[in-house]
Structure 1
Amino acid sequence: MSNPVYGKQAQTSTRDDKRPAIFWVLIVGMILFLAWSPFQAALFNGQMLDFEKPLYWALIISMILLILGIVTYYKKFKLEEQRDWLAVLVLLLPLTYVLSLSSAASYYLAMNMVVVQCIYAALFIISIYLLHDRLGNKIIHNLIMTVAYVIVGFGFINWFGQWVLAGKLVGWLSQYVYHDRYISATMIDTNGLRLTSVFQYANTYAAFLMAILFAAVFCLMKSGSWYGKATHGFMLVPIVVSLFLTLSRGGLVMLPVVFVLLLLFFKPARQIIWIIHCAVAGVASISILTPITNMGLHLDKVYNGGEAAKGWGLLIGVSLVVAVVLWLVERYLSPKLENVFKGWTSRKLSNLWLPVGSVVVIGLLAFLFIGTGLRSVLPENVQVRLENINFRQHSVLERLAFYKDAAKLIKDYPVIGTGGGGWATLYERYQDYPYTSRQAHNFFMQYLVEVGIFGFVIFMSFILYIFYKYIRNYVNQNDEERDAHFLYLILALSILLHSLLDFNLSYVFMGILVFISLAGMTAAIDSKPLKRLSMRASGFRIMYSAVIGILSIVLLFVGLRFVQSANAAVYAKQVMAVSRSFEEIQSANNKDLQLRPTHPDSVIRLAALYKNVYDQTKKDEFYNAAIEVLNTGLKAEPYNKTMYNIKVDLLQMKGENEQAFSILENNISNFKWDNDWYNMLITKAYTIGNKAREQKDTAKEQKYFQAGLAAYQQVLDGVAHMKTIPPEIELTRTFEVTPGIALSAGKIEFMSGKPAEAANIFKNGLKDDLSDATNREVVRYYIAALQKQGQNDEALYNKLIQADPKEKEQIDLLKALKL
């Protein structure tokens, strides 16, 4: 694969004919790292145990690479230019996450984000110097495109039902292969089958494809060899088809935006060629989209080798034709256009005319595909997705709700934020209605939540400065110099813009691409020598190298420790699933907790183990051990619902009902849309209050009965609020007056001598299924409450008696109860 000529400015760095051996070790390391990382589920950012180990290995590898980078480029560490300072200032990004640890909502997730930021900073520092080297830039340039094309090909192997082949190809380097199948390389949701490739999430794959599409068009235009042009031209159709197969509306919306923005960087002749390449690839892709979509849908259900071969033949055949056509365009049309528009290029604002015209054309195409019958040329599932592109659509309204809720969170944690993972930990406390989303679906908003205004200003200043300096420098360069690093602008701009709509950068591989690209843009900056801040003395080189080296070594050992912990946690999980030995399970979990005392997974498993043993033996040593483990875990994870649930269960077993109630009441604001939480709280309020009533403790009775009824009123208020949610929003969680909630709240009123109020509450919890014991009990109390008022519901009464004849006696006892 051949790529553009790499600019003259890079030639001032390391000579091409002689490089130290350490340089090649660094290059090999970068190649292996970038080839490995996508197949670790694109290195999702460690919010679950399954994603931990690859993340920590990425930290270890990046620290090793940074040490190699220090050795390779030691002589270049000097603060003489603005570019050099960016290699220092990037360290502020992980430092802001370290600072946010002091207010972290989850220490575990916050530490994982410190790890992620250290990976980014290390790769940024290495890449600044590596990509300023002409040969290093060329190798990384080719490496990124090669890895990207492999990811696209891997996606189609899975789309055409060849999961076993895909699994065998990557099973040796990925832990996400199960029964010879890479997990979720295609996904099914309410929209149907969607292509995800290595990302396991269609929208992020769409963001990746959008970036790679424009990168491939650029490489096609600037490649100096026929085989380079043919390779990049060949890949355009698979990329565009893959983009459609993701069914990502965000990808389709952001695609024309990035297309037009990138168009502004070219001269008129190149703009025309850019448009032609994209148009040819687009038309060819749409022409085969329906059959390839239908083949994938069929092959997902039943694999057929012949049909898969037809799919590959169609895709490869059309891609070859497009490659030939675009090579001819490059060979014959492009030089002529350069000559024709040579005079036009010098005119003022000449590069704006085609982008403005493109906006009009794109608007017309959008109208035709969305508002007319022209969309019938597309597969049915794509048609449906296009029809639903509007501001009243579910995903748009849902994202707006996320952003509003994030704004509330930022208001409470404005300066240094909530720490990494703050949104995932706290969103239930701030959500306007019951949804489930551990991601805010906007990278910038989520970043602001995590590090506050202070960290966000540092981050935005960092990336905006790089973009500003790159664009300013780009304007003053010749074509050869511009082309040397333009790929990195394409990648960074595409991914960051799409991240306004989704959580792409929660995939560390995407973040790696962005930070390498930012470094590539930085390497292209023709920095002016610094005057006031210049530090040419060797003292800085020694100090900087020593600091970076020490930090690298420390983080290397931290990564190794975390890998040990992750291995121990996974082993403990496996042991708990198959073993009945208390000692074996305890030992496995303690091994993890010795390394990380507050690791949530092991805290929960060990506490659950002690709880179960205490339930069987009633020995206080197990009760105390469980409480101690949970208290330690909750200090670091004060919003962990599972830990609270285990603690409440333990307290109830011990008869500490008031302590259990206190936990439920104190945390109701954290889980305000959780029906189960309200059910436990109101039930506990009734249990404690009714016991106080029997003991003639009126003050205590009123305290807990009122607390229970207050919680019930919150449920009613929530149910009323749910009616104001736009109907276009598809609710994934329910919030209602459940039979359990109605039963406990109604009992409070019933035992307080208020049968009318009780009947109204019980009525809210009535269900048709009387085979369920709770449903029968609600009906029993409802009938008794009515009869206490001299009323009855004969039909419901008869249905209850028919379900269980013993209910008649129970109702009579309740009716006769003196209150």
Structure 2
Amino acid sequence: MNEGPEQSGLFPYTDEKEMDHIMIKQAINQKLTVGTITLLLFLLSGPWFHGFLLESEQMAAVLVISIGFILFLIKQRLQGSAELYLLAAFFVLYAISLTYGDDHHEALTGLLRAVMLIPLLLFVQSAEQQVMNRIWTVWTWVVGFSVPIAIISNRFVDGRLAGYIDYANSYAVVLLVGLIMAIAMSVVQPSFIPWMQIPIFLCAAGIYMTQSRTVLVLMLTVVPVLWFILRRDMAVLWLHSCISNVLGIGAAAAYSWTPLLCIPAAILFGLVLRFPLNRITISSRSIKLVLVCAIPVLAVVLIWMGPGMAERWSTFTSRTGEGATRLVYYRDAWSLVLDSPIWGCGAGAWSNLQYAYRSSDYFTAYVHSGPLQVMMEVGIIGFMLLAAACIWPIVRGLLAARSLESTEAKLYVIRALAGGVLLLHSLVDFSLSFPYILGLFFILVAVPATSQRADSATTSKHRHLIFKSTAILVAAGTFVLSTMLLVSDRLQQSAAQAYSEARKADAVQLLDRSADYAIWPDRIYDRKARMYLLEYDATHDRRYLEVAQQDNDRALAIYPNHIGYEKLRSDIYWRLGNKDKAVQLLSELVDQNHFMDQWHEDLKQKQAQMK
């Protein structure tokens, strides 16, 4: 008579195959809704399109989600939840920031990024758990195989694997979530356990090749946490996953020396994949302790094998290292937060205001801290709303897990672990500034409606009609705005292409058309002004200078405090012969914005010419 899992510490791979087959068949036969199809498109496309960080890709994602949301609202009855109301309040706050933020364009894109979260949350809450499990299974394979595809495509930045997200740290945290969810899907579908080791192996290798120190530390932290989740009846699953993890790191470390060295690790992984680990009994407390201690130690040893990773760790604590640099970012960003602590300065404020607050010579588009980024944009109130919206679904999922059967409870806990990993990583990086990763977080931690507790919020027919009508109007407005911004951005890209091909008249026409769709087209006017200024410098035709001045005035009318636009105005004044005004404006800019060395040299040269 075979021992049960509680007696032997095994997780049976074969005893439940028939039940798994029935579950898979039911999931496949389950009718996909508009919401689940939209979720699938969002999850599968994000890793290949820069995490939707670029404006055109972000607007395309928002456009698709808004269409799916409108169709979803027509057929589905909405269920309220605390996190939904918190996200709605966060969206309203971003809408208010349009009135006080200087960078209206960035505030608008931030608004659309915030409103995108509400449909994603509702899609997950209305989805069947079995369908979501199938979506997660497909997603883990796609994320895993993105690693060899990225290697073959040479998607490296400064020697670090960045994938198609084009930022190594964010790609690494997505891979870590993929690794964790591969284990979660192994819990749900026992017959898939051997095959799910493949994405685990690939994700571990990819994480190492990104050379992300924070994600590597998080990965080593996740290992013992998973042990405590799986130790009672799924110890072999944990062991198998750890072996795949270590072999993946070993293969990547070998690849960092020479690609041929990773072949033995891959062969060893194939042998382990075929080895029937389900026949192993892990019952001795000493063996368990050795495994829990030895596997992380072995992983650390492998991490130090690669020359690139060892070099990154060796420079972390230096005064000029990345750690010290980020502390400077945080200190300067906190100074900005203290100047407007309640409401913030609006989305995009950091890009322009950092020059006045920075204490050393640097530029960074993002402050590398999610909480600081949010507080700079929408203040402490916005941060508290978003933090509550992030933490509450994790808490509710963990509470719901207490009343569920063992397998489903483990799934909820592991999903909460994956969400916690994203939150922890966002403390020291700007990963949640990627719309894809922010959306991924809420998809991970959302509690499906079929699993929510009976005391979930309900609404009357009258209130439900008002709520749904408002949601449809917001979705329609989102569709219109995202379409306009997408068209505007695509026209700007076409204009850049035309200008590079010396089709300057076409470039100007394309920029004019782009401005018609941009809502706040200050950047387009600035681009035109700089084009005309270059033409003036080449031809000395004063008509170009006059048109450049007109476009510069238009840009400053929309964004009066943009130092780049003001510097361009100073340059135009100088060429127009108004040298006193040009020098006065440039002197004010140099005094207000620190460490602008090139501007300081420009000022000294112009002052010398006036003497």
In the superposition, the TM-score normalised over structure 1's length comes to 0.66
Residue pair 2:91, 2:114 contacting (<8 A) in 1 also: yes
Task: Say whether residues 1:92 and 2:89 are aligned partners.
Answer: yes
Report the residue type matching 2:87 in the other structure: V
1:145 aligns with 2:148: no
Q: Distance in 1 between the 2:168 and 2:79 partners?
A: 43
**Cα distance in structure 2, aligned partners of 1:639 and 1:250:** 36
Mapped partners of 1:279, 1:30: distance in 2: 30
1:614-652 CA distance string (max 9 Å, x none):
567877765443223212212443454442332222101
Structure 1 residues 632 and 361, CA, compared in 2 at 3 Å: closer, same or farther?
farther
- Secondary structure of the residue aligned to 1:501 is coil
Give the drift of 1:201: 1.5
Secondary structure, counterpart of 1:197 in structure 2: coil
Structure 1 position 455, deviation (Å): 0.5
Per the alignment, residue 358 of structure 2 pairs with 431
Does residue 115 (structure 1) correspond to residue 106 (structure 2)? The answer is no
Quote the residue 2:182 is aligned against. Answer: 216
Structure of greater relative contact order (alpha carbons < 8 Å, 6+ residues apart): 2
Pairwise CA distance, 1:55: 1.2
Aligned residue among 323, 343, 346 for 2:273: 323
Task: Write the mapping of 1:595-674 to structure 2, written as runs, cut at 5 A.
Answer: 595-596=517-518, 598-612=520-534, 622-674=544-596
Corresponding residue for residue 195 of structure 1:
161
Cα distance, 1:235 vs structure 2: 2.6
Aligned pair in 2 of structure 1 residues 279, 563: CA closer, same or farther (>3 Å)? closer
* 1:571 and 2:494 aligned: yes
Q: CA deviation at 1:561?
A: 1.1
Give the aligned partner of residue 6 of structure 2.
Answer: none
Distance apart, 1:434 and its partner CA: 0.5
Cα pair distance change 1:247/1:377, threshold 3 Å: closer
Matches within 5 A, 1:14-33: 23-33=32-42
* 8 Å contact from structure 2 (residues 186, 196) kept in 1: yes
The question of whether the paired residues in 1 share the 8 Å contact of 2:227 and 2:235 is answered with no
User: Counterparts of 2:222 and 2:61 in 1: how far apart (Å)?
Assistant: 30
Aligned twin of 1:799: none
Mapped contact 1:105–1:419 kept (Cα < 8 A): yes
In the alignment, the residues of structure 2 paired with residue 275 and residue 484 of structure 1 have an alpha-carbon distance, to the nearest angstrom, of: 14
Q: What is the one-letter code of the residue matched to 1:106?
A: D
Q: Please show how residues 181-260 of structure 1 align to structure 2 within 5 Å.
A: 185-188=155-158, 193-225=159-191, 228-260=192-224
Q: Give the letter aligned to residue 186 of structure 1.
A: F
1:562-586 CA distance string (max 9 Å, x none): 12111211122122222355x4333
- Counterparts of 1:230 and 1:275, CA distance in 2: 12
Provide the identity percentage.
18
Structure 1 match to 2:255: 292
Q: What secondary structure sits across from 2:446 in the alignment?
A: helix
Is the CA contact 2:415–2:445 (under 8 Å) kept in the aligned structure 1?
Answer: yes
**Kept in 1: contact 2:137–2:182 (CA 8 A):** no
Q: Give the C-alpha shift of residue 678 in structure 1.
A: 1.2
Q: In the aligned structure 2, how far is the partner of 1:285 from the partner of 1:567?
A: 40
Partner AA of 1:551 in structure 2? V
Structure 1 contact 108–637 (Cα < 8 Å) conserved: no
- Conserved? CA contact 1:256–1:362, under 8 Å: no
For residue 485 of structure 2, the aligned residue among 554, 562, 575 is 562
Aligned residues: 590
The answer to whether residue 301 in structure 2 is matched with residue 384 in structure 1 is: no
The Cα of 1:217 is off from its aligned counterpart by: 2.6
Retained in 2: the 8 A contact 1:108–1:636? no
Cα separation, partners in 2 of 1:539 and 1:507, compared to 1, 3 Å: same
Match of 2:45 among 9, 33, 36: 36
Cα gap change, 1:61 to 1:683, in 2 (>3 Å): same
Q: Could you tell me which of 376, 379, 389 is aligned with 1:449?
A: 376
- Residue matched to 1:106: 103
Deviation at 1:458, TM superposition (A): 0.8
Other structure's SS at 1:198 match: coil
Question: Deviation digits for residues 765-795 of structure 1, max 9, x if unmatched?
Answer: xxxxxxxxxxxxxxxxxxxxxxxxxxxxxxx
Name the aligned partner's letter for residue 116 of structure 2: I
- Distance change >3 Å, CA 32–CA 656, structure 1 → 2: same
**TM-score scaled by length of structure 2:** 0.86
Q: Aligned ranges for residues 138-537 of structure 1 at < 5 Å?
A: 138-155=133-150, 158=151, 162-163=152-153, 185-188=155-158, 193-225=159-191, 228-264=192-228, 266=229, 268-270=231-233, 272-273=235-236, 275-296=238-259, 314=264, 316-325=266-275, 328-329=276-277, 331-333=278-280, 378-390=305-317, 394-520=321-447, 524-528=451-455, 535=459, 537=460
AA of the residue aligned to 1:555: T
CA RMSD of the aligned region, Å?
Answer: 3.5
Q: Judging changes above 3 Å, is the alpha-carbon distance between structure 1 residues 17 and 122 closer, same or farther for their aligned structure 2 residues?
A: closer
Give the C-alpha shift of residue 457 in structure 1. 1.0
Q: Which amino acid aligns with 1:332?
A: R
Q: 1:612 to 1:679 in 2, by over 3 A?
A: same
2 CA distance for matches of 1:658 and 1:356?
76
Structure 1 letter corresponding to 2:521: H
Task: Give SS of 1:269's match.
Answer: coil
Q: Distance in 2 between matches of 1:383 and 1:473?
A: 43
Q: Distance in 2 between matches of 1:441 and 1:683?
A: 36
| Structure 1: segments with no counterpart, 5+ residues | 6-14, 45-50, 164-183, 297-306, 342-353, 691-819
| Contact kept? 1:151, 1:197, Cα under 8 Å | yes
> Where does residue 708 of structure 1 map in the other structure?
none
The answer to whether the 8 Å contact 2:146/2:163 transfers is: yes
Contact 1:218 1:487 in 2 (8 A): yes
Relative to structure 1, the CA distance from residue 444 to residue 606 in structure 2 (aligned partners, 3 Å threshold; closer, same or farther) is: same
**Residues 496 and 681 from structure 1, CA distance in 2 versus in 1: closer, same or farther, beyond 3 angstroms?**
same
Which of 1 and 2 has greater Rg? 1
Letter in 2 for 1:111: L
Q: 1:468 is paired with a residue of what secondary structure?
A: helix
What is the alpha-carbon distance in structure 2 between the residues aligned to residue 417 and residue 356 of structure 1?
A: 50
SS at match of 1:90: helix
Equivalent residue number for residue 5 of structure 2? none
Unpaired runs of 5+ in structure 2? 1-12, 17-25
- 1:136 maps to which residue? 131
Q: Which residue identity is paired with 1:512?
A: G
Partners of 1:238 and 1:446 in 2: how far apart?
32
Q: Is the 8 A contact 1:375 1:383 kept in 2?
A: no
Q: What is the letter of the counterpart of residue 68 of structure 1?
A: L
Q: 2: distance between equivalents of 1:355 and 1:667?
A: 62
The separation in 1 between residues aligned to 2:91 and 2:264, in whole angstroms, is: 47
Tell whether the 8 Å contact from 1:614 to 1:620 is kept in structure 2 after alignment. Answer: yes
Shift of 1:393: 6.8
Secondary structure of 2:391 counterpart: helix
Residue 375 of structure 1: CA displacement? 6.5
Q: Is 1:550 the equivalent of 2:473?
A: yes
